[in-house]
Amino acid sequence: MVKNINKIIIISIIVLVSVIFIQSYGARVYQLAGAGTAATGTVGIQILPYSICQVDMDQYWNFISLCSNASNKSISSILSGINYRYVMQWNRTSQEWSIYSPKAASNPFDKFTANNSYFIYLKDSNDTLLCTGDLLNDTNISLTQYWNAPSWPYNFSTSIDNQSASVNTTFRYEMKWNTSAQEWNIYSPKAASNPFNSIFIGEGKIMYISNATALLVYNTSKL
């Protein structure tokens, strides 16, 4: 009886440590298999890469990307608890903004996607967007001529040269939103100096493409 109690205690400690590890590192239990009796059973745990995307936003306009692949990308879910007034998505076909309002009777869109950047207008004060989901792997985003608003969908930063390597021959400008000044900063690969040279976690961007079509290739091993 004492031996069985000791075994149960040991298994309980192992399970507790596993739970602490999972919670601490943002991992998610995907499969639990092979459970037997408390004394002799074995537990197999498969852990998927998991990300908590945190984007700090200021009052007024913010231009952001989701840096994790949330299972529920509805605007109401992603921005739950945030006092926002508008969300804007770039329509690359008409080359203009589409506007979502939680107070509108109907809207042109109601979900975020992992491929687009978005403007979010906060009404009263600063806030933090927390989005949990699977990490994104290698991703290709189709671009059309003129302005596009592709996302930066990763939870790490990289240089502008790395993130635009696949479209270097047709890439002319990239704009990032300066939240403090509430205006655009513009990067050109042909400029002697630029106001920024990197893309950071959670940032949105707009890119100008001169060709009719282009493919923005994100190879995570090279980013």
Same domain, 81 and 23: no
pLDDT value at residue 94: 96
Same domain, 115 and 145: yes
pLDDT value at residue 33: 39
Q: For residue 58, what are the CA distances in angstroms to 55, 120, 178, 180, 192?
A: 10, 10, 11, 8, 31
pTM: predicted TM-score of the whole model, two decimal places: 0.78
* Span 42-87, pLDDT tens digits: 554 444 456 788 999 999 999 999 999 999 999 999 999 999 999 9
Find residue 80's DSSP bridge partners: none
pLDDT value at residue 135: 87
Give the pairing type, strands 139-148 and 44-48: unpaired
Q: Is residue 209 helix, strand or coil?
A: strand
Rounded to a whole number, what is the largest CA-CA distance in the chain?
Answer: 78
Residue with more model confidence, 105 or 31: 105
Same domain, 28 and 121: no
**Domain range for 169:** 51-218
What integer best gives the mean pLDDT of the chain? 84
For residue 223, tell me if it sits in a domain: no
pLDDT at 15 over 80: no
> What is the C-alpha to C-alpha distance for residues 40 and 23, in angstroms, rounded to an integer?
26
Token output for 218 = 């994100």
pLDDT value at residue 103: 95
